[in-house]
Amino acid sequence: MFRDFGLSASEYKHILRIAGKDIEGGKKLIVALSEIKGVGYNFAQVLIQSLNINPNMRVGFLSENDIREIEQAISNPARAGIPQWYLNRRKNMDDGSNNHMITSDLDFAASNDIEREKLVMSWRGYRHMFGLRVRGQCTRTTGRRGGAVGVKKVKVMPGAAPAAAGAPAPAPGGGGDTTTPAPPSKEPAKK
């Protein structure tokens, strides 16, 4: 069913480069391909099935021809028989095409999308602009990075008596004003 390669230990490669990413040769093929940005585990599985390669094979035993086939299938998945709904960039805003982006192209496209949203002042763009959550999360108690949260502390002057709760802060001269008498109490005198 799968193509299996009886390669010797002398043909084993410890590190190889697939689609601009250095990958250890000891990893299994599906896990190794999913390390490439833009290629997830499921996409790697479908890719390997469409190319008829053994998924349990170690990457170090791949031949140069197989690496070339994998890179071509990643760059043009439609030609490898992968359905359109597996692609990560469907109905592109610029030209309406369906394609699959990897590595820095994916980062560049995402940053362009965010800048376009900011430019047209959409709700998502507004949220991106002010560093708020974009995807509808609750923000009442979480996502509180930045500004202060909680009660502001009152500075206590050295040598001053602590103020009662709700009382005004003492004057900066320290102590209190002892020349003014205390206001009369509103409670009736007890007999």
Inter-residue contact 33 to 48 (CB < 8 Å): yes
Count CB neighbours of 52 within 10 A. 10
CATH fold of 9-85 = Helicase, Ruva Protein; domain 3 (1.10.8)
**How far, in Å, CA of 47 to CA of 17, rounded?**
17
- The pLDDT of residue 19 is 86
Question: pLDDT digit string (tens) for 78-114?
Answer: 888 888 898 888 888 888 888 888 888 889 999 999 9
**pLDDT interval class at 2 (50, 70, 90):** very low
Residue 49 to residue 30: CA distance in whole angstroms:
10
**Burial class of residue 142 (count of CB atoms within 10 Å of its CB; 0-12, 13-18, 19+):** exposed
Radius of gyration of the chain (CA): 33
**pLDDT tens string 14-62:** 888 888 888 998 999 999 999 999 999 999 999 999 999 988 889 999 8
Q: Where are the domains of the chain?
A: 9-85, 102-136
Which amino acid, residue 119? Answer: L
As beta bridge partners, residue 58 has 28
